[in-house]
Amino acid sequence: MRDYIKIDAWRLADDLTVEVYERTRSFPKEEMYGLTSQLRRASYSVPASKKDYLHFLYIARGSLSETQYFIHLARRLDYLSSEEADVLHERTKLAFGCLHGLIRAVEKEAGKFRKVVAAITSLAAIGLMRWSGSQLSVVS
C-alpha cells in the first residue's frame, strides 16, 4: 500500500477539506444538517478512504464533483462570497488535476498487473490441459 499522505492529490484534498470546514463555520445554523454537512462530507471523503486504492481514487473523484456542486450551491445561497467560492473552486480544480494524473498512473499499473495475472492464468490452464491430457493417455 502506498503512503497516501505523501501523495500530492491527497494533500490537496486534505487542504481543501480544512478550508471547507473553515468556510462553513459561518453558514446558517439551520444548514448544520443540510448543506454544511453535505459539503463537509463530500470534501472529507476525498482524502479519507484507503480500502481499495483505485476504487478509492474513483470515489474521491466523485466526491470532488459533489464538493464543486455544494460550493456552487453555497455561493448561490449567499453562504459564501464570490471570492470564497472562487478560491474553493480553484482548489478543487487543482485536486482534480492531480487526482486525474494519479488515477491514470494507477490504472496503467493495474493494467500491467492484469496482464501478468492473465499470462500466469493462461500458462496454468495450458499446463493443466497438458497434465489432464497425459493422464487420459495413461488411463487409455
- pLDDT, one tens digit per residue, over 86-139 is 999 999 999 999 989 988 887 887 676 654 555 565 566 566 555 555 544 555
| Three-class SS of the chain | CCCHHHCHHHHHHHHHHHHHHHHHCCCCHHHCCCHHHHHHHHHHHHHHCCCCHHHHHHHHHHHHHHHHHHHHHHHHCCCCCHHHHHHHHHHHHHHHHHHHHHHHHHHHHHHHHHHHHHHHHHHHHHHHHHHHHHHHHHHC
- Residue range 59-87, pLDDT digits in tens: 888 889 999 999 999 999 999 999 999 99
